[in-house]
Structure 1
Amino acid sequence: MAGLFETTGDGSAAIALDEVEASILRSLEVQMLELIGPGPGEDSDDPLAALFAEGPTAPPADPALHRLFPDAYGAPGEPADLETTAAASEFRRYTELDLRARKREDALHVVRAIDGLGGQGGELKVEAADCPRWLGAVNDLRLTLGSRLEVTEDDDEGLYSLPDEDERKPMVMLYLWLGAMQESLLEAITS
Protein backbone atom coordinates (compact mmCIF):
# COMPACT_ATOMS: atom_id res chain seq x y z
CA MET A 1 0.00 0.00 0.00
CA ALA A 2 1.41 3.39 -0.98
CA GLY A 3 2.39 5.67 1.88
CA LEU A 4 2.68 2.90 4.47
CA PHE A 5 5.57 0.69 5.50
CA GLU A 6 5.88 -3.00 4.77
CA THR A 7 8.33 -5.48 6.19
CA THR A 8 11.23 -6.65 4.09
CA GLY A 9 11.76 -9.69 6.28
CA ASP A 10 15.23 -8.72 7.52
CA GLY A 11 14.34 -6.16 10.18
CA SER A 12 14.22 -3.44 7.56
CA ALA A 13 11.13 -1.77 6.16
CA ALA A 14 10.10 -0.36 2.81
CA ILE A 15 7.67 2.39 1.94
CA ALA A 16 6.30 3.30 -1.48
CA LEU A 17 5.66 7.03 -1.74
CA ASP A 18 4.12 8.68 -4.75
CA GLU A 19 5.46 12.09 -5.74
CA VAL A 20 2.85 13.99 -3.70
CA GLU A 21 3.35 11.87 -0.57
CA ALA A 22 7.12 12.26 -0.81
CA SER A 23 6.75 16.02 -1.22
CA ILE A 24 4.36 16.32 1.72
CA LEU A 25 6.50 14.20 4.04
CA ARG A 26 9.65 16.12 3.05
CA SER A 27 7.91 19.46 3.56
CA LEU A 28 6.67 18.40 7.01
CA GLU A 29 10.16 17.31 8.06
CA VAL A 30 11.68 20.58 6.83
CA GLN A 31 9.05 22.46 8.85
CA MET A 32 9.98 20.30 11.84
CA LEU A 33 13.62 21.33 11.41
CA GLU A 34 12.55 24.98 11.39
CA LEU A 35 10.33 24.50 14.45
CA ILE A 36 13.02 22.77 16.49
CA GLY A 37 15.72 25.19 15.37
CA PRO A 38 19.12 25.29 17.01
CA GLY A 39 19.17 25.31 20.77
CA PRO A 40 20.95 28.00 22.76
CA GLY A 41 24.67 27.96 21.96
CA GLU A 42 24.29 25.33 19.24
CA ASP A 43 24.83 27.79 16.43
CA SER A 44 28.35 28.58 17.67
CA ASP A 45 31.30 27.80 15.42
CA ASP A 46 33.40 27.05 18.48
CA PRO A 47 33.22 23.28 19.13
CA LEU A 48 34.41 23.71 22.71
CA ALA A 49 31.68 26.24 23.45
CA ALA A 50 29.10 23.93 21.90
CA LEU A 51 30.39 21.04 24.03
CA PHE A 52 29.91 22.99 27.26
CA ALA A 53 26.74 24.82 26.26
CA GLU A 54 23.89 24.49 28.67
CA GLY A 55 20.31 24.24 27.57
CA PRO A 56 17.33 26.25 28.66
CA THR A 57 15.84 25.80 32.11
CA ALA A 58 12.31 26.90 31.27
CA PRO A 59 9.94 24.84 29.13
CA PRO A 60 9.16 26.18 25.65
CA ALA A 61 6.21 28.56 25.40
CA ASP A 62 5.01 27.00 22.13
CA PRO A 63 2.65 24.10 23.01
CA ALA A 64 4.02 21.98 20.15
CA LEU A 65 7.61 22.44 21.32
CA HIS A 66 6.52 21.79 24.89
CA ARG A 67 5.01 18.50 23.68
CA LEU A 68 8.31 17.60 21.98
CA PHE A 69 10.37 18.71 24.99
CA PRO A 70 8.16 18.04 28.03
CA ASP A 71 9.17 18.46 31.64
CA ALA A 72 10.84 15.35 33.05
CA TYR A 73 9.21 15.73 36.44
CA GLY A 74 5.66 16.42 37.55
CA ALA A 75 2.33 15.40 36.11
CA PRO A 76 1.39 16.92 32.74
CA GLY A 77 -1.13 19.72 33.09
CA GLU A 78 -0.81 19.76 36.88
CA PRO A 79 0.80 22.63 38.80
CA ALA A 80 4.22 21.67 40.13
CA ASP A 81 5.67 22.56 43.50
CA LEU A 82 8.98 24.45 43.74
CA GLU A 83 11.06 21.29 44.21
CA THR A 84 9.54 19.58 41.16
CA THR A 85 9.96 22.72 39.06
CA ALA A 86 13.61 23.02 40.11
CA ALA A 87 14.30 19.36 39.30
CA ALA A 88 12.60 19.67 35.88
CA SER A 89 14.58 22.84 35.11
CA GLU A 90 17.88 21.22 36.04
CA PHE A 91 17.11 18.11 33.98
CA ARG A 92 16.10 20.25 30.96
CA ARG A 93 19.29 22.31 31.27
CA TYR A 94 21.48 19.26 30.72
CA THR A 95 19.38 17.24 28.29
CA GLU A 96 17.38 19.48 25.96
CA LEU A 97 20.25 20.41 23.64
CA ASP A 98 21.04 16.74 22.99
CA LEU A 99 17.36 15.93 22.49
CA ARG A 100 16.99 18.81 20.02
CA ALA A 101 20.07 17.61 18.14
CA ARG A 102 18.72 14.05 17.93
CA LYS A 103 15.34 15.21 16.70
CA ARG A 104 17.02 17.38 14.07
CA GLU A 105 19.22 14.46 12.96
CA ASP A 106 16.17 12.20 12.66
CA ALA A 107 14.25 14.75 10.57
CA LEU A 108 17.30 15.45 8.40
CA HIS A 109 17.78 11.71 7.84
CA VAL A 110 14.24 11.43 6.49
CA VAL A 111 14.68 14.51 4.28
CA ARG A 112 17.90 13.10 2.80
CA ALA A 113 16.27 9.73 2.14
CA ILE A 114 13.38 11.40 0.32
CA ASP A 115 15.84 13.60 -1.59
CA GLY A 116 17.42 10.35 -2.76
CA LEU A 117 14.25 9.73 -4.77
CA GLY A 118 15.23 12.70 -6.96
CA GLY A 119 11.98 14.62 -6.59
CA GLN A 120 10.00 11.64 -7.80
CA GLY A 121 7.97 9.09 -5.97
CA GLY A 122 9.36 5.65 -5.47
CA GLU A 123 10.16 2.98 -2.96
CA LEU A 124 12.45 3.69 -0.05
CA LYS A 125 14.09 0.88 1.84
CA VAL A 126 14.81 1.81 5.43
CA GLU A 127 17.57 -0.31 6.91
CA ALA A 128 16.92 -1.86 10.32
CA ALA A 129 19.44 0.47 11.98
CA ASP A 130 17.61 3.51 10.54
CA CYS A 131 14.08 2.43 11.48
CA PRO A 132 14.26 4.04 14.95
CA ARG A 133 15.23 7.36 13.30
CA TRP A 134 12.22 7.18 10.99
CA LEU A 135 9.98 6.17 13.87
CA GLY A 136 11.20 9.14 15.93
CA ALA A 137 10.83 11.60 13.04
CA VAL A 138 7.29 10.46 12.19
CA ASN A 139 6.34 10.46 15.88
CA ASP A 140 7.61 14.04 16.27
CA LEU A 141 5.49 15.14 13.32
CA ARG A 142 2.43 13.42 14.74
CA LEU A 143 2.96 14.90 18.21
CA THR A 144 3.34 18.38 16.71
CA LEU A 145 0.20 18.09 14.59
CA GLY A 146 -1.70 16.63 17.53
CA SER A 147 -0.63 19.58 19.64
CA ARG A 148 -1.67 22.09 16.96
CA LEU A 149 -5.04 20.31 16.65
CA GLU A 150 -5.36 20.16 20.46
CA VAL A 151 -5.99 16.42 20.30
CA THR A 152 -6.75 14.69 23.57
CA GLU A 153 -7.40 11.05 24.27
CA ASP A 154 -11.07 11.86 24.79
CA ASP A 155 -11.74 13.53 21.42
CA ASP A 156 -9.64 11.34 19.10
CA GLU A 157 -12.82 9.83 17.64
CA GLY A 158 -14.11 13.30 16.69
CA LEU A 159 -11.29 13.63 14.19
CA TYR A 160 -12.88 11.00 11.98
CA SER A 161 -16.17 12.86 11.68
CA LEU A 162 -15.05 16.39 10.80
CA PRO A 163 -17.04 17.90 7.92
CA ASP A 164 -15.07 18.52 4.72
CA GLU A 165 -15.44 22.28 5.06
CA ASP A 166 -13.71 22.32 8.48
CA GLU A 167 -10.41 24.18 8.10
CA ARG A 168 -8.68 21.58 10.30
CA LYS A 169 -9.53 18.73 7.93
CA PRO A 170 -6.23 18.77 5.94
CA MET A 171 -4.19 18.73 9.17
CA VAL A 172 -6.38 15.94 10.54
CA MET A 173 -5.81 13.91 7.37
CA LEU A 174 -2.04 14.37 7.79
CA TYR A 175 -2.30 13.44 11.47
CA LEU A 176 -4.17 10.23 10.65
CA TRP A 177 -1.81 9.36 7.77
CA LEU A 178 1.22 9.82 10.01
CA GLY A 179 -0.44 7.64 12.65
CA ALA A 180 -1.02 4.89 10.09
CA MET A 181 2.55 5.29 8.82
CA GLN A 182 3.90 5.04 12.37
CA GLU A 183 1.82 1.95 13.09
CA SER A 184 2.85 0.28 9.83
CA LEU A 185 6.53 0.93 10.59
CA LEU A 186 6.16 -0.59 14.05
CA GLU A 187 4.48 -3.65 12.55
CA ALA A 188 7.14 -3.93 9.85
CA ILE A 189 10.07 -3.88 12.26
CA THR A 190 8.48 -6.27 14.73
CA SER A 191 7.42 -8.85 12.13
Structure 2
Amino acid sequence: MPGTFEPLPGGGAAVALDDVEISIIRSLAVQLLELIGPGPAEDAPDDPLAELFAEGPSEPPADPVLRRLFPDAYSDPEGTPGPQQAEEERAHSAEFRRYTENDLRAGKRDNALAVIRSLDGLASAAGEGGAVLKLSPAEAQQWLSALNDLRLAIGSRLEITDDDDTDLLYRLPDEDPRKPMVMAYLWLGGLQETLIATLLT
Protein backbone atom coordinates (compact mmCIF):
# COMPACT_ATOMS: atom_id res chain seq x y z
CA MET A 1 0.00 0.00 0.00
CA PRO A 2 2.89 2.52 0.30
CA GLY A 3 2.18 5.56 -1.86
CA THR A 4 -1.17 4.30 -3.15
CA PHE A 5 -4.67 4.68 -1.80
CA GLU A 6 -6.69 1.56 -1.16
CA PRO A 7 -10.37 1.18 -0.26
CA LEU A 8 -11.51 0.77 3.33
CA PRO A 9 -14.34 -1.60 4.29
CA GLY A 10 -17.54 0.41 4.37
CA GLY A 11 -16.14 3.22 2.23
CA GLY A 12 -13.33 5.69 2.40
CA ALA A 13 -9.67 5.21 1.58
CA ALA A 14 -6.34 4.56 3.26
CA VAL A 15 -2.73 5.23 2.32
CA ALA A 16 0.57 4.59 4.07
CA LEU A 17 2.68 7.75 4.34
CA ASP A 18 6.14 8.11 5.79
CA ASP A 19 7.27 11.12 7.80
CA VAL A 20 8.77 12.89 4.79
CA GLU A 21 5.62 12.42 2.69
CA ILE A 22 3.45 13.72 5.54
CA SER A 23 5.69 16.78 5.84
CA ILE A 24 5.67 17.48 2.08
CA ILE A 25 1.90 17.25 1.65
CA ARG A 26 1.29 19.35 4.76
CA SER A 27 3.75 22.01 3.63
CA LEU A 28 2.17 22.19 0.18
CA ALA A 29 -1.33 22.43 1.67
CA VAL A 30 -0.22 25.28 3.96
CA GLN A 31 1.29 27.10 0.97
CA LEU A 32 -1.96 26.60 -0.95
CA LEU A 33 -3.91 28.09 1.97
CA GLU A 34 -1.62 31.12 2.02
CA LEU A 35 -2.07 31.55 -1.72
CA ILE A 36 -5.88 31.31 -1.57
CA GLY A 37 -5.96 33.84 1.23
CA PRO A 38 -7.79 34.19 4.54
CA GLY A 39 -11.48 33.62 5.07
CA PRO A 40 -14.03 36.24 6.11
CA ALA A 41 -12.84 38.69 8.75
CA GLU A 42 -13.76 37.97 12.36
CA ASP A 43 -15.77 41.18 12.53
CA ALA A 44 -17.84 40.23 9.49
CA PRO A 45 -21.62 40.26 10.09
CA ASP A 46 -23.15 37.01 11.28
CA ASP A 47 -26.05 37.38 8.84
CA PRO A 48 -25.83 34.30 6.57
CA LEU A 49 -28.10 35.96 4.01
CA ALA A 50 -25.79 38.96 3.74
CA GLU A 51 -22.81 36.62 3.42
CA LEU A 52 -24.60 34.65 0.69
CA PHE A 53 -25.02 37.78 -1.42
CA ALA A 54 -21.65 39.33 -0.64
CA GLU A 55 -19.89 40.25 -3.85
CA GLY A 56 -16.47 38.94 -4.70
CA PRO A 57 -13.89 40.23 -7.16
CA SER A 58 -14.86 40.78 -10.78
CA GLU A 59 -11.35 40.71 -12.28
CA PRO A 60 -9.20 37.59 -12.71
CA PRO A 61 -6.38 37.25 -10.16
CA ALA A 62 -2.99 38.64 -11.15
CA ASP A 63 -1.12 35.54 -9.95
CA PRO A 64 -1.03 32.88 -12.72
CA VAL A 65 -1.56 30.10 -10.17
CA LEU A 66 -4.72 31.74 -8.85
CA ARG A 67 -5.88 32.31 -12.44
CA ARG A 68 -5.50 28.55 -12.94
CA LEU A 69 -7.40 27.78 -9.73
CA PHE A 70 -10.11 30.38 -10.47
CA PRO A 71 -10.35 30.56 -14.28
CA ASP A 72 -12.78 32.70 -16.24
CA ALA A 73 -16.11 30.96 -16.65
CA TYR A 74 -16.69 32.18 -20.20
CA SER A 75 -14.21 31.83 -23.03
CA ASP A 76 -14.25 30.81 -26.67
CA PRO A 77 -13.13 27.15 -26.91
CA GLU A 78 -12.70 27.46 -30.69
CA GLY A 79 -10.02 30.12 -30.60
CA THR A 80 -9.66 33.89 -30.49
CA PRO A 81 -13.05 35.64 -30.41
CA GLY A 82 -13.81 38.85 -32.26
CA PRO A 83 -13.65 42.18 -30.38
CA GLN A 84 -17.37 42.33 -29.57
CA GLN A 85 -17.54 38.68 -28.55
CA ALA A 86 -14.42 39.08 -26.40
CA GLU A 87 -15.97 42.06 -24.63
CA GLU A 88 -19.19 40.12 -23.98
CA GLU A 89 -17.19 37.16 -22.62
CA ARG A 90 -15.25 39.44 -20.28
CA ALA A 91 -18.49 41.00 -19.00
CA HIS A 92 -20.12 37.59 -18.42
CA SER A 93 -16.98 36.24 -16.75
CA ALA A 94 -16.75 39.28 -14.47
CA GLU A 95 -20.39 38.90 -13.42
CA PHE A 96 -20.02 35.16 -12.81
CA ARG A 97 -16.79 35.66 -10.85
CA ARG A 98 -18.36 38.38 -8.68
CA TYR A 99 -20.97 35.95 -7.33
CA THR A 100 -19.03 32.68 -7.25
CA GLU A 101 -15.35 33.25 -6.44
CA ASN A 102 -15.87 33.78 -2.70
CA ASP A 103 -17.61 30.40 -2.43
CA LEU A 104 -14.98 28.71 -4.58
CA ARG A 105 -12.21 30.11 -2.40
CA ALA A 106 -14.02 28.98 0.75
CA GLY A 107 -14.39 25.45 -0.64
CA LYS A 108 -10.73 25.21 -1.63
CA ARG A 109 -9.72 26.63 1.75
CA ASP A 110 -11.85 24.04 3.57
CA ASN A 111 -10.35 21.20 1.53
CA ALA A 112 -6.78 22.31 2.23
CA LEU A 113 -7.58 22.67 5.93
CA ALA A 114 -9.07 19.16 5.97
CA VAL A 115 -5.79 17.80 4.56
CA ILE A 116 -3.73 19.68 7.16
CA ARG A 117 -5.93 18.56 10.04
CA SER A 118 -5.91 14.90 9.02
CA LEU A 119 -2.14 14.98 8.62
CA ASP A 120 -1.71 16.69 11.99
CA GLY A 121 -3.81 13.96 13.59
CA LEU A 122 -1.78 11.33 11.78
CA ALA A 123 1.55 12.85 12.77
CA SER A 124 0.63 12.87 16.46
CA ALA A 125 -0.30 9.18 16.27
CA ALA A 126 2.49 8.12 13.92
CA GLY A 127 5.25 5.84 15.04
CA GLU A 128 8.77 5.82 13.73
CA GLY A 129 8.70 5.98 9.93
CA GLY A 130 5.11 7.09 9.36
CA ALA A 131 1.58 5.77 9.63
CA VAL A 132 -1.51 4.76 7.68
CA LEU A 133 -3.88 7.63 6.91
CA LYS A 134 -7.53 6.52 6.97
CA LEU A 135 -10.13 8.79 5.39
CA SER A 136 -13.91 8.67 5.54
CA PRO A 137 -15.72 9.00 2.19
CA ALA A 138 -16.29 12.73 2.83
CA GLU A 139 -12.65 13.29 3.82
CA ALA A 140 -11.51 11.35 0.75
CA GLN A 141 -13.50 13.72 -1.47
CA GLN A 142 -11.88 16.73 0.22
CA TRP A 143 -8.45 15.17 -0.26
CA LEU A 144 -9.21 14.52 -3.92
CA SER A 145 -10.16 18.15 -4.48
CA ALA A 146 -7.13 19.42 -2.56
CA LEU A 147 -4.74 17.13 -4.47
CA ASN A 148 -6.20 18.46 -7.71
CA ASP A 149 -5.68 22.06 -6.55
CA LEU A 150 -2.10 21.30 -5.50
CA ARG A 151 -1.32 19.78 -8.89
CA LEU A 152 -2.92 22.73 -10.70
CA ALA A 153 -0.84 25.13 -8.62
CA ILE A 154 2.43 23.27 -9.19
CA GLY A 155 1.60 22.69 -12.86
CA SER A 156 1.04 26.41 -13.30
CA ARG A 157 4.41 27.21 -11.73
CA LEU A 158 6.01 24.64 -14.07
CA GLU A 159 4.06 26.15 -17.01
CA ILE A 160 2.44 22.82 -17.88
CA THR A 161 -0.40 23.35 -20.35
CA ASP A 162 -0.86 19.94 -21.97
CA ASP A 163 0.20 16.27 -21.90
CA ASP A 164 3.27 16.95 -24.03
CA ASP A 165 4.59 19.21 -21.29
CA THR A 166 4.10 16.41 -18.77
CA ASP A 167 6.08 14.00 -20.95
CA LEU A 168 9.00 16.43 -20.97
CA LEU A 169 9.07 16.43 -17.18
CA TYR A 170 10.14 12.80 -17.10
CA ARG A 171 13.23 13.67 -19.12
CA LEU A 172 14.47 16.59 -17.00
CA PRO A 173 18.07 16.12 -15.85
CA ASP A 174 18.63 15.74 -12.12
CA GLU A 175 20.51 19.05 -11.93
CA ASP A 176 17.51 21.00 -13.26
CA PRO A 177 16.31 23.31 -10.45
CA ARG A 178 12.70 22.39 -11.26
CA LYS A 179 13.32 18.71 -10.53
CA PRO A 180 12.04 18.70 -6.89
CA MET A 181 8.85 20.48 -7.95
CA VAL A 182 8.45 18.06 -10.86
CA MET A 183 8.87 15.06 -8.56
CA ALA A 184 6.20 16.45 -6.22
CA TYR A 185 3.87 17.08 -9.19
CA LEU A 186 4.24 13.54 -10.50
CA TRP A 187 3.96 11.96 -7.05
CA LEU A 188 0.78 13.90 -6.23
CA GLY A 189 -0.59 12.79 -9.60
CA GLY A 190 -0.03 9.16 -8.62
CA LEU A 191 -1.78 9.70 -5.30
CA GLN A 192 -4.68 11.41 -7.05
CA GLU A 193 -5.06 8.61 -9.60
CA THR A 194 -5.13 5.88 -6.96
CA LEU A 195 -7.59 7.86 -4.84
CA ILE A 196 -9.92 8.27 -7.83
CA ALA A 197 -9.65 4.55 -8.58
CA THR A 198 -10.37 3.74 -4.93
CA LEU A 199 -13.44 5.95 -4.79
CA LEU A 200 -14.80 4.40 -7.99
CA THR A 201 -14.57 0.81 -6.66
The number of equivalent residue pairs is 189
Rg comparison, structure with higher value: 2
Q: Take 1:171 and 1:110, find their aligned partners in 2: how far apart are those partners?
A: 19
Q: What RMSD, in angstroms, separates the aligned Cα atoms of the two structures?
A: 1.7
- Post-superposition offset of 1:75: 3.4
Task: Report if aligned partners of 1:11, 1:128 keep a CA contact under 8 Å in 2.
Answer: yes
* Structure 1 residues not aligned, in runs of 5+: none
TM-score by length of 1: 0.92
1:68-92, CA deviations, whole angstroms, 9 ceiling, x for partnerless residues? 0000001378466111110000000
Task: Report if aligned partners of 2:18, 2:131 keep a CA contact under 8 Å in 1.
Answer: yes
Partner of 1:60: 61
2:107 to 72, 83, 102: 102
* Structure 2 residues not aligned, in runs of 5+: none
1:166 to 158, 176, 179: 176
- Post-superposition offset of 1:4: 2.1
Task: Report if aligned partners of 1:38, 1:100 keep a CA contact under 8 Å in 2.
Answer: no
**Which of 4-13 and 91-100 deviates more?**
4-13
SS at match of 2:193: helix
Identity of aligned residues (%): 60
Rate the CA distance shift 1:11–1:167 in 2: closer, same or farther, 3 A. Answer: same
Q: 1:160 is matched by which residue type in structure 2?
A: Y
TM-score by length of 2: 0.88
Task: Report if aligned partners of 1:67, 1:143 keep a CA contact under 8 Å in 2.
Answer: yes
The structure 1 segments of at least 4 consecutive aligned residues displaced by more than 6 Å after TM superposition are none
1:137-184, CA deviations, whole angstroms, 9 ceiling, x for partnerless residues? 000000000000001213211000100000000000000001000000
Partner of 1:45: 43
Q: Take 2:115 and 2:52, find their aligned partners in 1: how far apart are those partners?
A: 26
Q: 1:185 is matched by which residue type in structure 2?
A: L
Q: Take 1:44 and 1:92, find their aligned partners in 2: how far apart are those partners?
A: 24
- Post-superposition offset of 1:22: 0.3
Partner of 2:11: 11
Task: Report if aligned partners of 2:22, 2:123 keep a CA contact under 8 Å in 1.
Answer: no
1:120-151, CA deviations, whole angstroms, 9 ceiling, x for partnerless residues? 42111111122211100000000000000001
Q: Take 1:185 and 1:149, find their aligned partners in 2: how far apart are those partners?
A: 23
SS at match of 1:60: coil
Task: Report if aligned partners of 2:53, 2:99 keep a CA contact under 8 Å in 1.
Answer: no
